[in-house]
Amino acid sequence: MGRSDQDLTDLPAASPEEEPGAGPGGGTGMSVQRALLVIGAVVVGTVLFLLVFDYLRSPTANRLSVVAVAIVVGVGGVFFLFWTMNKIVDLLPAWFREGLRPYVFVGPALVILGVFLVYPVFNTLLLSFKDGISRDFVGLDNYRFVFTNEDMMRAIRNTAGWLILVPIVAVSIGLMFATLADRLGRGEAAAKSLIFLPMAISFAGASVTWQLIYSYRPQGFGSNIGLLNGIMLGLGQEPVKWLELQPWNNLFLMVIMVWMQTGFAMVVLSAAIKSIPDEIIEAARIDGASEWQVFGRIIVPSILPTIVVVTTYMVINAMKVFDIVFVQPANAEVNGTVVVAERMIRWFFLLDHNGRGAAIAVILFVAVVPVMIWNVRRFREQEAIR
Amino acid sequence: MSVPVPVTGDGGSRAPGETRKGGWFIRVTIIAIVLLWLIPTVGVLITSLRPESLSESSGWWTVLAHPFRTAEWTLENYRLAITGQGFGNAFMNSLAVAIPSTVIPIAIAAFAAYGFAWMEFKGRYVMFITVVGLMVVPLQMALIPILRLFTQGVVLFGYRIVPDLDLNQSFLGIWLAHTGFGIPLATYLLFNYIASLPSSIIESAKIDGADHFTIFWRLIVPLSVPALAAFAIFQFMWVWNDLLVAYVFLGGAGQNRVLTVALRELVGARGENWHLLTAAAFITMALPLAVFFSLQKYFVRGLTAGAVKG
């Protein structure tokens, strides 16, 4: 691993020197020497990598040093990869070299995407037509199961609720807050930071956080330490089992996601609002427009593209929501809070049925295809403008 | 917690005389929303600092009535979580997962974005569209095949095409997975930025004899620091907070488990131990909060560079 570090540091110094030699024709005596150097670096690098990965797996190694080595190797390795590939291409004949060079740059991304996204799409499709242990083909049985199973139907309904309500509420609050904060003057930055803060919290952490709000204990089994039930008791009411209160418990879980994502919407929308020229707004005010008219006729239309982008991002996020439901200690099936992505994980990893898990994944994918088509179209339009 | 830094550089740059009618209304609304948003986090912080007996018997808000009674505060919960529940270990594992999983996808995506923006080759447009289009493939769809790839390799028509890579439960496996899932968005955002750099500087570097690698390394990377930093923060928070990928590729138990997984196990095993749960939850939040508050200037500037113009 020392190897890759060293390569990194002497890289900027080494490359300009080599420029004259790398011109058309190239040096002959020099290039043999360089070839040996590059091949040597590749061999040493590979051997070191293999040794290091054995070390990372050893169960007895000291944790701190394992972690330190892992970070250095992981970070250094990727730069070593590009450096080596570029050097190898330098060694090739000149007529071939420049045609291949772009693939040094885009090749790794394409390979990794091929393995981690393209291959899985086709593989999942195949698995969804096979049985629970992926041995025999069962035709459309898994899909039939998915669309007749009661929990699954409920999960589809719930997910539809998530991806309609969460983006609308989060974007609305974000837009309102951004507009108001823009006119706050002093303290604007601090206020925005505090709204954005939940973005930095994991879904797992957020779920613990919100249990302190929703927690319930029957009377006589300890005092209620959840904030909502504290308020109920303070008002002289009976405590409520918030997370078992169907169908409202779905809404209570959505509140958690709104709490986490509003900050993101607010920050992006706020930047868009600030990019509206002041003159336009001032002119409208001088013409006698009310603040509501300024908001509805000038601010919103001007930042509409940004609102659309943010909303789309939230819809995709809501469609994939899993953690918030999965980490709840209460049983999602009994409480009716199941969602599609959570069903998929449960069938695949906890109920051990590959086919059904894969079928649910395919349905998720089909649901986002329209978004993908829209995304590509939007990119084409942008390209046309460029 | 640290002192909030301005979210945007130009915060409050509007002309004076701006806050005219409705000033108090705006102020009150903003303060109300901020307080509402803070309540859950404050609850966790307070509970994590109270002794078990108290956090079990009374709500955290009761502390507000007498905040200066020293018997009501303790750091014991953090000690218990870090040593007894293995959160110290899990914290280090999270670092070993999150740092390379942030750097690797950004490096690969930056090279690719440069290639797509400034190099001429066949199929450039189609490849770029494919990369960006993959942004919407749900992560959940990819987990199963990749897990099988890691544990079984690929067998097609009886021939073993890819050997059993034995990457499951390893750091390399999860780095690669996060890299695959992060590249589409990273390439998209970095392409927007890198393609908008003036072509004159790249042309003049070419005339001076610099090759693509040198241009990228000495010109593009330094110029793209805002965009790189913005995506780095985004990706770091994402990876650090991820439960799903870590749960699938590193497992729920074992020496490599990360913070979010450890927290999830703790919720499952001790659903009612608030003093431990809240301390553990705060340990998982500490680093992303610190990263966010120290680097948020870059975050906003870089993220909005592409999004707002569009």
By mean pLDDT, which of A45-49, A124-128, B158-162 is the weakest? B158-162
Which of B43, B280, B304 is closest, CB to CB, to A227? B43
Is residue B81, in this structure, part of any structural domain at all? no
- The full set of domain ranges for chain A reads 2-91, 143-385
Give the model confidence (pLDDT) of B281-291 as tens digits: 888 888 888 88
Mean pLDDT value across residues B179-202: 83
Which of B136, B171, B244 is closest, CB to CB, to A372? B136
Amino acid residing at B221: V
pLDDT recorded at residue A101? 83
SS3 state of residue B159: strand
Higher-pLDDT residue of B120 and A253 is A253
Put simply, whether the predicted model's pTM sits higher than 0.95 gets the answer no
Is residue B82, in this structure, part of any structural domain at all? no
> Is residue B159 domain-shared with residue B240, that is, in the same domain?
yes
> Is residue B65 domain-shared with residue B103, that is, in the same domain?
no
Is residue B243, in this structure, part of any structural domain at all? yes
Q: What is the DSSP letter of B269?
A: H
Please give, one letter per residue, the 3-state secondary structure of chain A: CHHHHHHHHHHHHHHHHHCCCCCCCCCCHHHHHHHHHHHHHHHHHHHHHHHHHHHHHCCCCCHHHHHHHHHHHHHHHHHHHHHHHHHHHHHCCHHHHHHHHHHHHHHHHHHHHHHHHHHHHHHHHHHCCECCCCCCECCCHHHHHHHHCHHHHHHHHHHHHHHHHHHHHHHHHHHHHHHHHHCCCCCHHHHHHHHHHHHHCCHHHHHHHHHHHHCCCCCCCCCCCCHHHHHHHHCCCCCCCHHHCCCHHHHHHHHHHHHHHHHHHHHHHHHHHHCCCHHHHHHHHHCCCCHHHHHHHHHHHHCHHHHHHHHHHHHHHHHCCCHHHHCCCCCHHHHCCCCHHHHHHHHHHHCCCHHHHHHHHHHHHHHHHHHHHHHHHHHHHHHHHC
pLDDT recorded at residue B15? 44
> Is residue B58 domain-shared with residue B199, that is, in the same domain?
no
Is residue B32, in this structure, part of any structural domain at all? yes
Is residue B149, in this structure, part of any structural domain at all? yes
Residues of B in contact with A162 (CB under 8 A): none
Cβ contacts from A onto B, under 8 A: 393
pLDDT recorded at residue B300? 62
> Is residue B50 domain-shared with residue B111, that is, in the same domain?
no
Is the confidence at residue B309, as pLDDT, over 60? no
Partner-chain contact A70 B171, CB within 8 Å: yes
> Is residue B288 domain-shared with residue B164, that is, in the same domain?
yes
- Give chain B's mean pLDDT: 77
pLDDT recorded at residue A171? 93
Is residue B123, in this structure, part of any structural domain at all? yes
For residue B186, give the CATH number of its domain.
Answer: 1.10.3720.10
Partner-chain contact B216 A327, CB within 8 Å: no
pLDDT-derived band at A57 (thresholds 50, 70, 90) equals low
Is residue B44, in this structure, part of any structural domain at all? yes
Is the confidence at residue A97, as pLDDT, over 60? yes
pLDDT recorded at residue B12? 41
For residue A250, give every residue at least 6 positions away whose Cβ sits within 8 Å of its Cβ, in sequence order, or none.
A158, A161, A162, A336, A337
β-partners of residue B154 are B162
> Is residue B65 domain-shared with residue B92, that is, in the same domain?
no
Partner-chain contact A118 B107, CB within 8 Å: no
Is the confidence at residue B232, as pLDDT, over 70? yes
Q: Which residue of chain A has the CA closest to B3? A: A190
Higher-pLDDT residue of B134 and B177 is B177
pLDDT-derived band at B166 (thresholds 50, 70, 90) equals low
pLDDT recorded at residue B107? 92
- Percent pLDDT > 70 in chain B is 79
Whether the bond between A12 and the residue before it is cis, its omega within 30 degrees of 0, is: no
Which of A56, A230, A386 is closest, CB to CB, to B61? A230
- Which span out of A93-102, B46-55, B173-182, B221-230 was modeled with the highest average pLDDT? B173-182
pLDDT recorded at residue B105? 93
Residues of B in contact with A323 (CB under 8 A): 243-244
Mean pLDDT value across residues A32-44: 78
Higher-pLDDT residue of A372 and A368 is A368
Which of A19, A108, A184 is closest, CB to CB, to B108? A108
In chain B, the number of structural domains is 2
pLDDT recorded at residue B9? 39
Interface confidence: ipTM more than 0.90 = no
∠ Cα B37 B42 B43 (to 5°) = 105
Q: Residue B143's domain spans which residues?
A: 87-307
> Is residue B53 domain-shared with residue B180, that is, in the same domain?
no
Structure-block tokens of residue B135: 């942004």
Is the confidence at residue B254, as pLDDT, over 80? no
> Is residue B270 domain-shared with residue B174, that is, in the same domain?
yes
Distance, CA of A317 to CA of B238 (rounded, Å): 12
pLDDT-derived band at A11 (thresholds 50, 70, 90) equals very low
Is the confidence at residue A119, as pLDDT, over 80? yes
Is the confidence at residue A1, as pLDDT, over 60? no
Q: What is the DSSP letter of B217?
A: I
Chain A from 10 to 49: CB within 8 A of any B CB: 11-12, 15-16, 19-20, 22-23
Is residue B14, in this structure, part of any structural domain at all? no
Residues A3 and A11 sit within 8 Å (Cβ to Cβ): no
Mean pLDDT value across residues A239-264: 85
Mean pLDDT value across residues B114-137: 81
Is the confidence at residue B158, as pLDDT, over 50? yes
Higher-pLDDT residue of B104 and B269 is B104
pLDDT recorded at residue B13? 41
Interface test with A, best of B111, B167, B275 (most A CBs within 10 A): B111
Higher-pLDDT residue of B89 and B9 is B89
pLDDT-derived band at B271 (thresholds 50, 70, 90) equals low
- Tell me which fold the domain A143-385 belongs to: MetI-like fold (1.10.3720)
Residues B187 and B112 sit within 8 Å (Cβ to Cβ): yes
Which residue in this structure is represented by tokens 């890198």?
B194
pLDDT-derived band at A255 (thresholds 50, 70, 90) equals very high
* C-beta pairs of A242-251 under 8 Å, 24+ apart in sequence: A242/A214, A242/A216, A243/A214, A243/A216, A243/A328, A243/A330, A243/A335, A243/A337, A244/A216, A244/A330, A244/A334, A244/A335, A246/A335, A246/A336, A247/A336, A249/A335, A249/A336, A249/A337, A250/A158, A250/A161, A250/A162, A250/A336, A250/A337, A251/A165
Chain A from 261 to 280: CB within 8 A of any B CB: 262, 267-268, 270-272, 274-275, 278
Mean pLDDT value across residues A146-175: 90
Mean pLDDT value across residues B65-89: 78
